[in-house]
């Protein structure tokens, strides 16, 4: 009979209020001790201690691996997964929070501390009232660098998952808002390295040299025209050169220069076109100035593409938590990237955005040393993850 379970789930918000202090405690504890990609030792230990406290069994892949816990309701029911990330970012925190990072040069500047607390909160709710199927709680390493989702996939821990759901706090939306959309919601992320080989010389005799700095400057300016003049404006794309290195002294003409950057695209054809044009542009400028230029592409995360049925499930679950007025439509894909994309290449699922800005707060972007979020968002996230797991299991029955 499903009636008793249905009655027990009516007051979910009240139940979330009950566990909210524990979620705040967990979030702040995790925030104090951030660890970088594939180094999540203490973080993993804190998560496992909480799972032990809740009485939820799990498997741990060791340092650099992930934690996958399992809440079993009815064995014959469907299995769905909820995902959180464990890693922090390099950087010196400037929030001034009483629970600011105690690990110098590392901080949770992307909200992963909140994501872990939300999924652990959902775990408490699901454990208290087991679902009609099975829920996998995925705590993965290295979302920021290294594509840690692939570690989880290679482990085989998700082999029986019918769907996977994840989310991210954002200051672009207010607490009480959730963005759910089907299709492409983030961009393909690729890195590139451009190495310029000129001929060094004395700064007083430029005619005897091939100045790698001049060539780099021309290439930097030229590359900016690739998006503005080579791509249809309706197709989102970005090229950013974030690092430039060259030269050894003020009076020496640099023999070499290096440019490093990132490219974001949402369509494979646009991605290939931009890479082809970048290489052609580099060759042309190199020939013009008698320099050798090599372009090296480092493939990054693929785009996150939410599947339609799972997006419908997530939208319905979100509406039950924040109401129709709290649902936010996506106007255009984010040009950021997310390794949740690797899960969606193998498992249907949906990735959402969870509003985390308090009314009146200044928006501080992700990855900023001053980043923080309103902890009231923990309630929304935990309630959503619990609800979407139950609704998905019911939909697959």
How many whole angstroms separate alpha carbon 214 and alpha carbon 91?
32
- Let me know whether 170 and 309 are in one domain: yes
- 45 and 89 both lie in a single domain: yes
Residue 10: its pLDDT value, please? 37
The pLDDT, as a whole number, for residue 226 is 96
Instruction: Give yes or no for residue 320 having a pLDDT over 60.
Output: yes
Longest dimension (CA), the chain: 89
pLDDT(19) > 80: yes
Is 248 in the same domain as 371? no
* pLDDT beyond 90 at 14: no
Place of tokens 């950087």: 91
Residue 105 sits in which domain range? 3-184+303-395
Cβ atoms within 10 Å, residue 231: 18
* pLDDT per residue as tens digits for the range 190-239: 999 999 999 999 999 999 999 999 999 999 999 999 999 999 999 999 99
The CATH number covering residue 108 comes to 3.40.630.10
Residues 259 and 380 in one domain: no
pLDDT band at 6 (very low <50, low <70, confident <90, very high): very low
The domain boundary residue, chosen from 250, 273, 299: 299
3-state secondary structure string across the chain: CCHHHHHHCCCHHHHHHHHHHHHHHHHHHHHHCCCCCCCCHHHHHHHHHHHHHHCCCEEECCCCCCEEEEEECCCCCCEEEEEEECCCEECCCCCCCCCCCCCCCEECCCCHHHHHHHHHHHHHHHHHCCCCCEEEEEEECCCCCCCCHHHHHHHCCCCCCCEEEEEEEEEEEECCCEECCCEECECEEEEEEEEEECECEECCCHHHCECHHHHHHHHHHHHHHHHHHHCCCCCCEEEEEEEEEECCCCCEECCEEEEEEEEEECCHHHHHHHHHHHHHHHHHHHHHHCCEEEEEEEECCCCCEECHHHHHHHHHHHHHHHCHHHEECCCCCECCCCCHHHHHHHCCEEEEEEEEECCCCCCCCCCCCCCCCCCCHHHHHHHHHHHHHHHHHHHCC
* Distance set, CA 252 to CA 68, 169, 199, 340 (Å): 56, 48, 11, 47
Q: Do the annotations mark residue 110 as ligand-binding?
A: yes
Identify whether residues 48 and 177 lie together within a single domain. yes
Question: Percent of the chain scored above 90 by pLDDT?
Answer: 91
Average pLDDT of the segment spanning 50-79: 95
Residues 169 and 208 both lie in one domain: no
* Catalytic choice (143, 310, 338, 372): 143
pLDDT digit string, tens, across residues 242-270: 999 999 999 999 999 999 999 999 999 99
Q: Answer with the one of 269, 284, 299 that is the final residue of a domain.
A: 299
**Pair 39, 108: CB distance under 8 Å:** no
Whether 144 and 56 map to the same domain: the answer is yes
- Rounded to an integer, what distance in angstroms lies between the CA atom of residue 378 and that of residue 357? 12
How many domains does the chain fold into? 2
Residue 348 is encoded by which pair of tokens? 């249907």
Check if 143 is active-site.
Answer: yes
Question: What is the distance between the alpha carbons of residues 206 and 224, in angstroms, rounded to a whole number?
Answer: 27
Is the confidence at residue 7, as pLDDT, over 50? no
Give, in degrees to the nearest 5, the angle at Cα 243 between 204 and 148: 155
pLDDT at residue 185 is higher than 50: yes
Give the domain CATH number at 245.
3.30.70.360
Question: Are residue 34 and residue 155 in the same domain, yes or no?
Answer: yes
The pLDDT score that the predictor gives to residue 117 is 98
- Look at 126 and 14; give whichever has higher pLDDT: 126
Q: Residue 319: CB partners within 8 Å, gap ≥ 6?
A: 326, 327
- Residue 8 has a pLDDT of 38
Return d(Cα 185, Cα 194) in angstroms, integer.
Answer: 29
Answer yes or no: is 168 a known binding residue: yes
Establish whether 202 is an annotated binding residue: no
> Do 250 and 323 fall within a single domain?
no
**Residue 277 sits in the same domain as residue 363:** no
> Does one domain contain both 29 and 159?
yes
pLDDT, residue 361, reads 85
Domain identity same for 290 and 352:
no
The pTM (predicted TM-score) of the whole model is 0.91
Per-chain mean pLDDT for the chain: 94
Instruction: Render pLDDT for 344-371 as a digit per residue (tens, 0 to 9).
Output: 999 999 999 999 998 888 888 999 999 9
Q: State mean pLDDT over 133-150.
A: 96
Of 299, 321, 347, the domain-final residue: 299
Instruction: Flag whether pLDDT at 343 surpasses 70.
Output: yes
CB atoms within 10 A of CB 199: 16
Q: Which of 70-74, 307-311, 317-321 has the lowest mean pLDDT?
A: 70-74
112 is in an annotated binding site: yes
The two three-digit tokens of residue 361, written as one number? 């707060």
* 40, 50, 87, 374: the active-site residue: 87
Query: Was 367 annotated as part of a binding site?
Result: yes
Q: What is the pLDDT of residue 12?
A: 55
Q: Phi first, then psi: give them for residue 7, nearest 5 degrees.
A: -65, -35
Of the chain, the percentage scoring pLDDT greater than 70 comes to 96
């Amino acid at each position: 009979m499903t009636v008793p379970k249905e009655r027990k789930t009516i007051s979910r918000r009240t139940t979330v209020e009950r566990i909210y202090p524990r979620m705040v405690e967990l979030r702040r504890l995790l925030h104090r001790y951030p660890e970088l990609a594939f180094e999540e030792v203490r973080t993993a230990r804190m998560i496992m201690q909480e799972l032990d406290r809740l009485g939820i069994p799990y498997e741990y892949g060791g340092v650099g691996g992930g934690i996958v816990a399992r809440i079993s309701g009815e064995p014959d029911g469907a299995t769905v997964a909820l995902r959180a990330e464990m890693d922090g970012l390099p950087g010196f925190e400037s929030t001034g929070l009483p629970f600011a990072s105690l690990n110098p040069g590392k901080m949770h500047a992307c909200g992963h501390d909140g994501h872990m607390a939300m999924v652990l909160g959902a775990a408490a709710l699901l454990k208290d009232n087991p679902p009609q199927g099975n829920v996998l709680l995925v705590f993965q390493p290295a979302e920021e660098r290294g594509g840690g989702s692939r570690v989880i996939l290679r482990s085989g821990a998700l082999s029986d998952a019918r769907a996977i759901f994840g989310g991210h706090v954002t200051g672009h939306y207010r607490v009480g808002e959730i963005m759910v959309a089907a299709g492409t919601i983030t961009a393909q992320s690729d890195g590139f390295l451009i190495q310029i080989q000129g001929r060094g010389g004395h700064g007083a005799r430029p005619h005897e040299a091939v100045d790698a700095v001049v060539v780099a400057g021309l290439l930097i300016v030229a590359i900016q025209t690739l998006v503005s003049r080579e791509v249809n404006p309706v197709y989102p794309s970005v090229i950013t050169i974030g690092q430039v290195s060259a030269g050894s002294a003020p009076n020496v003409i640099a023999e070499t220069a290096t440019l490093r950057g990132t490219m974001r695209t949402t369509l494979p054809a646009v991605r290939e076109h931009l890479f082809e044009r970048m290489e052609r542009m580099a060759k042309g400028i190199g020939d013009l100035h008698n320099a050798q230029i090599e372009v090296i592409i480092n493939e990054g995360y693929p785009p996150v593409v939410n599947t339609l049925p799972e997006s419908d499930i997530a939208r319905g679950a979100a509406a039950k938590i924040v109401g129709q007025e709290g649902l936010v439509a996506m106007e255009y894909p984010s040009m950021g990237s997310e390794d949740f994309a690797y899960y969606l290449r193998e498992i249907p699922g949906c990735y959402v955005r969870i509003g985390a800005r308090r009314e009146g707060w200044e928006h501080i972007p992700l990855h900023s040393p001053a980043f923080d979020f309103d902890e009231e968002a923990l309630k929304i996230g935990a309630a959503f993850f619990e609800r979407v797991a139950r609704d998905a299991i019911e939909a697959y029955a």
